[in-house]
Amino acid sequence: MRIDRPPLGPAAWQATTAAAALHIGPAGTWLPPVRRLLFPGLDGQGQPGHVALTFDDGPDRASTPRFLDALDALDVRATFFLLGSALAEAPELGRELVARGHEVGLHGWQHRRPWWPGPVRELRELRRAVRTATDVCGARPRWYRPPYGILTGGRWAAAHRLGLRTVLWSAWGRDWVAGASAETIVRTVEHRLEGGGTVLLHDSDRTSAPGSWRATLQALPVLVRNCRQQGLTVGPLRDHGGDDTEPCPL
């Protein structure tokens, strides 16, 4: 039996449209020209003599320890945007990250796209990630980067309520795609990277092509060397400086 639902009235349509705009509107900051021009803090722009090195999707027992060893060899510290669920599975890596001098940020609890508004869920899961990271790593994270770089209204509001600073990136290596190599990663990063930029890489293939982290690991020394040859210091976001106000895309 078919049940006909009454059409939405003007007020209901306005409310629905407003809710959709609040949810998806901030996602426009995924576009580099938009955030570079309007939200430099969200773009990860900092001191012109510094490059912030960041990694997403860990920790991963198969790959993260290799990155920690490589960074030690390069005498570089970085910011790792961890998934809360992954940290709960491998807490010893979270502790090791901090012990080796790296900075912990949050990438949410799970890595999924926000197709539908869910502000209550976003707050609940991000709060869970904050608590896990604080308990495991011994320090409360400062930074948040939404999965896929898609900043919805609910995600921004949750991060803001929990005192997290949201930051995306200025340059990436597209190191998650099948067929990526050390050469393509370096070339892609350096196409957009300038002093004061933030680099996005991945220390895990959890949401990337299988084994893709190996190419990133090979590219890492080249990227650091090239930055240093330009007189740039490579380090974590905590040393990046720049505009310290909270970007608000709502």
Q: Which of 50, 202, 203, 205 is catalytic?
A: 202
The amino acid present at 175, given as its one-letter code, is D
Residue 156: name the closest of 21, 18, 23 by CA: 23
Angle at 69 between CA 64 and CA 71, to 5 degrees: 95
The answer to whether 202 is a known catalytic residue is yes
The answer to whether 56 is a known catalytic residue is yes
Yes or no: say if 93 and 59 are a contact pair by the CB < 8 Å rule.
Answer: yes
DSSP state of 143: E
HEC letters along 3-40: CCCCCCCHHHHHHHHHHHHHHHHHHHHHCHHHHHHHCC
Residue 233: name the closest of 193, 196, 201, 208 by CA: 196
Q: Which tokens hold the place of 224?
A: 């650091």
The rounded distance, in Å, linking the Cα atoms of 174 and 202 is 9
Yes or no: say if 224 and 189 are a contact pair by the CB < 8 Å rule.
Answer: no
Yes or no: say if 168 and 133 are a contact pair by the CB < 8 Å rule.
Answer: no
Q: Which of 43, 56, 57, 205 is catalytic?
A: 56
C-alpha separations of 24 from 1, 32, 37, 107 in Å: 35, 16, 19, 19
Yes or no: say if 110 and 89 are a contact pair by the CB < 8 Å rule.
Answer: no
Yes or no: say if 81 and 54 are a contact pair by the CB < 8 Å rule.
Answer: yes
Catalytic residues: 56, 202
